[in-house]
Structure 1
Amino acid sequence: MTIKEIEDLSGMTRANIRFYESQGLLTPARDTNGYRNYTEKDLETLTRIRLLRTLHLSLDDIRAAGNGEKDFEDLLLKHLRYLKEEQNGLIQCQKVCEQMCRDHAAYDTFDAQYYLDMMDMPQGSAPPELEKDTVPKVTAPWRRFFAREIDLTLYSLLWSAFLTLVIGVNIGDSFSLDTSVTFLILSTVGSLFITNLIVLLVEPLFLTFTGTTPGKFCFGLKVAALGGKRLPYREALRRTWDVLWKGYGFHIPVYWLVRMYRSYKACTNEEILYWEEDSVLSLNKGRLPLGICAAIALLPFSLILEDTLNQYAAIPDNTGDLTVEEFCENFNDTQEFFGIERQLNLPPSITSGLAGIPDSALYLDGQAKWTKKPGTPYINQNGDYAPLPEFQFTEENGIITGIRFSYSVENENVRISSYGEVMALAAVSYICAQDSYSIQPDTPEEIFSRIREHGDYFEDFSFADAGISVECDFNYEGYDLVFDSYGSAVLEPVYGEDARFSAEFSMSAR
């Protein structure tokens, strides 16, 4: 028989027949073309199913009887008891309704407890209807987790944008080995405070005006008040506070994991979470592919965006035509941005490491002279290393058109540390300040790294960007290139040989 024929004979729709096939209650044979071929036995099975469903037997009971897992007679006896209980309940409901009609009960004044006492119900029991009268509970713990992580990542990007574009902080700068434990603790506490503060400031606004957040939207989640409207700001703020407290433990290490685990268990057990008491979470399951794509794409996107923000933060404050004073300000700011806290003519090995000697960076004053910052420690060089070079400027109407420095020494017992960072800082301070400069293809960090690498190994180089030509020439003999334990290079004079060294560095507009 075809599907059309068995529809007519069984009195069922095609959708019914397909459904029972999907439930494993019916397994028709197929012909050579793959079409279903129903038999008289299939028709008999469908007729049985129709009868038993009419008698209100469940699909599980019908399946168990068909598979022989349960005795059919026992199922019928059990179902008969259930029907009698339902019948008794319906009779009681009928009697109470009749009594309420005789009493002319009005909705605002009738005594509900009086009529409840008329019904023969076990103490504390509730009708099945009350079990269905609940707010729909959305569990989906993993959707909710990744939606929250997307939101936290976006909030973090907001903070990164503020740090880089407003304050000019190098967010890519890592802590050095000699960073104090106290500073690390304070930084961690400050980071936790800022993270929680941003969530409290931003998320309630999203919930109040849109009913969702970017992460929730991607995964098809929406938050509403119990009445179905959007949450008022105060309720949205309280909900967000409760999520941070009970759900994330305010991101406090270890405690965060405890709160997350407890929330996960409560969610999988379909419990009402602490922050859900006054709100309803709904789910659009069709958005799952969008959420997965967003979660996968967010990590590389956030890394690229943070790096881009960091490059913009590295651009000096003074741009365009520079005076000597403005160049010096750029140099000092760039030195701080790249976290250089030592005298640039000394190798890092002297001031780095757990046993390092305290040192501080020298800064350029308004006339490009190296000066010390009051109240900070400095290493006394005692002539062991070559001095910092003095910048010389070519100017036109007070505007810099060229910058250079040179240094030479002959037959003196002087070590020469790398000039890489001095040249790199000067290049970023001047090139990246030009109106024609763009962070692509050469970012400030790439310019800094390229020039420092050549300078660290005392290699000649030439480089041009944003209309500025950079050149450097090194000449030396009678020196050994020695690498210390921190990777920088130092030229040391060879005993008994004539030692000569010279360096020429220049930047000029093309």
Structure 2
Amino acid sequence: MMIKEIEKLSGMDRANIRFYESEGLITPRRMDNGYRDYSENDLQILLRIKLLRSLHISLEEIRDLKNGSKDLMDTLSNQIIRLEQERQDVSYAKDMCHAMQEDRVSFADLDAKKYIDSINQTIKATGSTYFSVKSDEYPQVFYPWRRFLARSFDISIYNILWSVFLAFVFHVNVAARSGPENLLDTLIVFIMMLFLEPLWLRLFGTTPGKLIFGLRIENPDGGHLFYDEGLDRTLRVIGTGMGYNIPIYSLICLWKSYGRCIENEIQPWDESIYYTIKDTKRYRGLLYIAASALSFIVLFTIISSQLLPPNKGDLTVAEFAENYNYYAKLFEIDLGDEYMDETGNWDKKKTDGSVIYIGLAEKPEYHFTTENGYVTGVSFVIEVVNNEGFITSYNKQMFLTSLAFACAQNEVRLFSKIPNRIADKIDNNIFKDYSFTEAGITFMCDIEYSGYRDTQSHLLFPSNEDENYFSLKFSMNK
């Protein structure tokens, strides 16, 4: 049956039916056109809910009755006891009203403490909650860990968005950010949060993290916050709740926020809003774990994708040069005031003269072997005779050359370990010969030197001998 028919048969408003459906008490079938098809069983459940709710039996108890964890007879017995207590409370409240009438006092002359003391004695004797004024408060969620994890997940999303921007717009190596750069990233992520979170709240009344835990934020009218309201709330969360992420101070702010939740105190930024939770079912924890794992995979994918060069497959010399320059920028290897042009030679960067470049002292001259216009081999030779200065290793040049060529091969895909293996082979053989094969390419390096002292670093220093000699021959070929 359709919604109009079940409204008529149950005597319930559509809003009530939708609410009980959202609570999982009824599960109508979805038809191909998207409409709900309510069964006779759904109708009977709604009628039972209507009856029991009219008797003031709580929704939690009705849920327990439906899933069989409670017995109807026991529930009715407990409700009779509660209703009897409520009858006594109502009778006492009625007597209290008569007593106040007999005292014939105005609001301005009312001695409230005298009557409150009498009510408190009744509460102490019966344990009644009838006289509580807690219902006058805005609904609030006091689950510190759910709130913290929801916000942490939101921040991880903003961090991923910023990482995507860094990786694919500026080609910045997001896996090798320095301490100051991480501080800058944190600042930008908070700025993103400041403007994006109010947008989430305005459009959906929740955020991705809050949605996972069934959390919602609304204004007292039951609608979504306006953007400026959400902006003000988020700004107070960042400042008062998170201490602007300032070391030590942020921990103090988080601890105070945790304490307020434990004591069921409203957070300063939530004083004029409704903060509700749909449920606390276990599957939400599993959903959070799955979502967090997915966000980690996305971030790892971004990092791995940066190791793939702009040009794949067979390379022209110009494409090889573009790959070379890409990796030099990605790994922040300073090439000074030069770059590799489309012919594979070194060219000066255009500058107004205000920038001073300090890069690698020696840049090798590359030789290319081509077939049908595509590169099949790359090599360079370094030879130094009777040099008075020290010799630097050419590991960075070999590293850039190797990645520019090898990572373009079809064997190197996303998450490939080949780039790391190539880097390890080169780094573990400083001023040593090596030969290995990766991605169908043979890498070879022959080094000879005399008159130099190996300091187990990336430098060779001249010894006291009058003559010295250094030779390096590097090549890679398909």
Question: What TM-score range do you get, normalising by the shorter chain?
Answer: 0.5 to 0.7
In 1, Cα distance between equivalents of 2:435 and 2:153? 45
Are residues 505 and 278 of structure 1, via their aligned partners in 2, closer, same or farther at CA, if it must alter by over 3 Å? Answer: same
Contact 1:151/1:213 (<8 A) preserved = yes
Superposed displacement of residue 282, structure 1: 1.4
Provide TM-score, normalisation by structure 2. Answer: 0.65
Q: What is the DSSP-based 3-state SS (H/G/I as helix, E as strand, rest coil) of the residue aligned with 1:438?
A: coil
Are residues 119 and 409 of structure 1, via their aligned partners in 2, closer, same or farther at CA, if it must alter by over 3 Å? Answer: closer
The question of 1:291 aligning with 2:285 is answered: yes
Letter in 2 for 1:364: M
Contact 1:250/1:256 (<8 A) preserved = yes
Are residues 83 and 455 of structure 1, via their aligned partners in 2, closer, same or farther at CA, if it must alter by over 3 Å? Answer: closer
Q: Structure 2: any 5+ residue segments left out of the alignment?
A: 1-60, 62-76, 120-130
Aligned to 2:392: 417
Query: What does residue range 213-224 of structure 1 map to in structure 2 within 5 Å?
Result: 213-224=207-218
Contact 1:324/1:368 (<8 A) preserved = yes
In 2, Cα distance between equivalents of 1:451 and 1:362? 27
Out of 313, 327, 330, the residue aligned to residue 334 of structure 1 is 327
Out of 235, 239, 243, the residue aligned to residue 245 of structure 1 is 239
The question of 1:88 aligning with 2:100 is answered: no
In 2, Cα distance between equivalents of 1:169 and 1:327? 20
Letter in 2 for 1:122: A
Are residues 173 and 51 of structure 1, via their aligned partners in 2, closer, same or farther at CA, if it must alter by over 3 Å? Answer: closer
Letter in 2 for 1:472: M
In 2, Cα distance between equivalents of 1:87 and 1:161? 66
Letter in 2 for 1:193: L
In 2, Cα distance between equivalents of 1:453 and 1:53? 77
Contact 2:308/2:413 (<8 A) preserved = no
In 2, Cα distance between equivalents of 1:379 and 1:154? 37
Are residues 50 and 236 of structure 1, via their aligned partners in 2, closer, same or farther at CA, if it must alter by over 3 Å? Answer: closer
Are residues 376 and 389 of structure 1, via their aligned partners in 2, closer, same or farther at CA, if it must alter by over 3 Å? Answer: same
Are residues 125 and 256 of structure 1, via their aligned partners in 2, closer, same or farther at CA, if it must alter by over 3 Å? Answer: farther
Aligned to 1:369: 345
Aligned to 1:406: 381
Out of 426, 432, 447, the residue aligned to residue 458 of structure 1 is 432
In 1, Cα distance between equivalents of 2:307 and 2:374? 22
Q: What is the DSSP-based 3-state SS (H/G/I as helix, E as strand, rest coil) of the residue aligned with 1:400?
A: strand
Aligned to 1:504: 474
Out of 292, 307, 313, the residue aligned to residue 306 of structure 2 is 313
Contact 2:301/2:415 (<8 A) preserved = no
The question of 1:391 aligning with 2:377 is answered: no
Out of 448, 454, 463, the residue aligned to residue 482 of structure 1 is 454
Contact 2:328/2:400 (<8 A) preserved = yes
In 1, Cα distance between equivalents of 2:83 and 2:175? 70
Query: What does residue range 104-123 of structure 1 map to in structure 2 within 5 Å?
Result: 117=107, 122=112
In 2, Cα distance between equivalents of 1:264 and 1:143? 11
Superposed displacement of residue 392, structure 1: 0.8
In 1, Cα distance between equivalents of 2:342 and 2:416? 32
Letter in 2 for 1:459: D
Contact 1:220/1:285 (<8 A) preserved = yes
The question of 1:325 aligning with 2:308 is answered: no
Superposed displacement of residue 338, structure 1: 0.7
In 2, Cα distance between equivalents of 1:194 and 1:312? 23
Are residues 233 and 429 of structure 1, via their aligned partners in 2, closer, same or farther at CA, if it must alter by over 3 Å? Answer: same
Superposed displacement of residue 83, structure 1: 10
Q: How many residues align?
A: 386
Are residues 500 and 255 of structure 1, via their aligned partners in 2, closer, same or farther at CA, if it must alter by over 3 Å? Answer: closer
Are residues 286 and 477 of structure 1, via their aligned partners in 2, closer, same or farther at CA, if it must alter by over 3 Å? Answer: same
1:448-482 Cα offsets, whole Å, 9 max, x none, are 523432552523122232xx513213153646672
Q: What is the DSSP-based 3-state SS (H/G/I as helix, E as strand, rest coil) of the residue aligned with 2:176?
A: coil
1:48-82 Cα offsets, whole Å, 9 max, x none, are x999989859xxxxxxxxxxxxxxxxxxxxx9xx9
Superposed displacement of residue 334, structure 1: 1.2
Contact 1:192/1:250 (<8 A) preserved = no
Contact 1:219/1:288 (<8 A) preserved = no
Contact 1:473/1:503 (<8 A) preserved = yes
Letter in 1 for 2:98: I
The question of 1:210 aligning with 2:200 is answered: no
Aligned to 1:147: 150
Provide TM-score, normalisation by structure 1. Answer: 0.62
In 2, Cα distance between equivalents of 1:143 and 1:170? 33
In 1, Cα distance between equivalents of 2:85 and 2:137? 24
Aligned to 1:136: 139
Are residues 88 and 118 of structure 1, via their aligned partners in 2, closer, same or farther at CA, if it must alter by over 3 Å? Answer: farther
Query: What does residue range 342-353 of structure 1 map to in structure 2 within 5 Å?
Result: none
In 2, Cα distance between equivalents of 1:431 and 1:393? 14
Superposed displacement of residue 216, structure 1: 1.8
Aligned to 1:277: 271
Superposed displacement of residue 139, structure 1: 1.2
Contact 2:462/2:468 (<8 A) preserved = no
Are residues 125 and 272 of structure 1, via their aligned partners in 2, closer, same or farther at CA, if it must alter by over 3 Å? Answer: farther
Aligned to 1:65: none
Superposed displacement of residue 316, structure 1: 2.8
Aligned to 1:34: none
The question of 1:166 aligning with 2:173 is answered: no
Contact 2:142/2:261 (<8 A) preserved = yes
Q: Tell me how large the CA RMSD over aligned residues is.
A: 4.5
In 1, Cα distance between equivalents of 2:224 and 2:360? 67
The question of 1:472 aligning with 2:465 is answered: no
Are residues 379 and 131 of structure 1, via their aligned partners in 2, closer, same or farther at CA, if it must alter by over 3 Å? Answer: closer
In 1, Cα distance between equivalents of 2:149 and 2:239? 18
